[in-house]
Amino acid sequence: MTIRAERIQSLCDTIGRARILILGDIMLDEYLLGSVDRISPEAPVPVVEITATRLLLGGAANVAANIRALGDEPILMGTVGIDDAADKLRRLLGEKDISSEYIVTDPTRQTTIKTRIIAHSQQVVRADRENRDYLSPEVEQQVLDRLLAVVDNISAVIVSDYGKGVITKDLLERVTQLCNERNIFLAVDPKETNFHNYKNVSLVTPNHHEAGFAYGRKIVTEKDLMIVGQGLLEKLNARSILITRGGMGMSLFSRDGEPTHIPTFARQVFDVTGAGDTVIATFVSAVSAGANLAEAAVMANAGAGCTVGEIGTATVTVEQLRDELDRNIRNGNLMAAGPGNRNS
């Protein structure tokens, strides 16, 4: 199918009027930027001379930043500790006009920090400081109470599961029940080890490695892709599965129609960090604006094409999204086809 330019422009005009809840693992992303011109005499490793430091929102907080950049109102829920990283996170959220009102402070956990050392635009190493234990029943109830306070006034829910313990099985089941009772669109960015908990949701957005792992079949060929995509759709009883495939684009499987393949829009890839956050945020924002699933996938693919051209987690605005879609319309690229029929 071909998405008409007029339809895309209409959707871009409508984006930015929704209230979207983001529930998940909130993180602080730290980037140490520098250069390498020698090897350490202590070990065969490069010595990076740090010239700059950047702090960015990560995990569920980056999803919220993407929602805000598109003009929608993000309601961010998750946990942080009582530490310096939590203070920095709240400051960054404030700078993005994202409320921290619904974040639960858990004194038993540290705030997750991912530190990446980057030299000459290449990641040298990543160091994680985190607690991956599941939330205590008391803290889980505090999160649920905050969700119950707003669930009747939201357009969609995004679950951002990075496997840091916020998305417990019980909490996910309760969120799914609440969304299904109210006909609220529920999208999940999955963690492969929790994959089979994501049942009866509107959308799951695995990459091809996660999808293959979850189904027990590595995606190598188009046949593998079809079997895994359709199989996960049935196994999870989901409305749709969007498998992201890196340079090969995305493939959408849904109960509403035939499988749809969207070729990549990326011009040059510098960093895929946070690309999945942009995909799910743009998809849900588009659906909230009235897009069907195939249209939302095309828009999400364009959003990801913008952000992978930047170092670190990044966001895309409606104007950037519109420009990227315009560019692909002019180049004749704005087409979605069946995975086994790329030229149709």
Question: Which residues are part of the catalytic machinery?
Answer: 277
Q: Which of 158, 337, 341, 200 is nearest to 257 (CA)?
A: 337
Residue 256 has what DSSP assignment? T
C-alpha span between 26 and 76 (Å, rounded): 9
The C-alpha angle 273, 339, 253, rounded to 5 degrees, equals 70
Residues sharing a CB contact under 8 Å with residue 100, sequence separation 6 or more, in sequence order: 76, 89, 90, 93, 94
Q: Are 280 and 288 in contact (CB under 8 A)?
A: no
3-state helix, strand, coil in the chain (%, to 5): 40, 25, 35
The H-assigned helical ranges of the chain are: 5-14, 60-69, 84-95, 137-150, 169-182, 208-215, 222-236, 275-288, 293-307, 318-330
What are the beta bridge partners of residue 22?
Answer: 76, 158
Q: Which of 107, 109, 80 is nearest to 93 (CA)?
A: 80
Q: In b/e form, how buried is each residue of 66-87, taking b as 16+ CB within 10 angstroms?
A: bbbbbebbbbbbbbbbebebbe
Tokens of 260: 């749809």
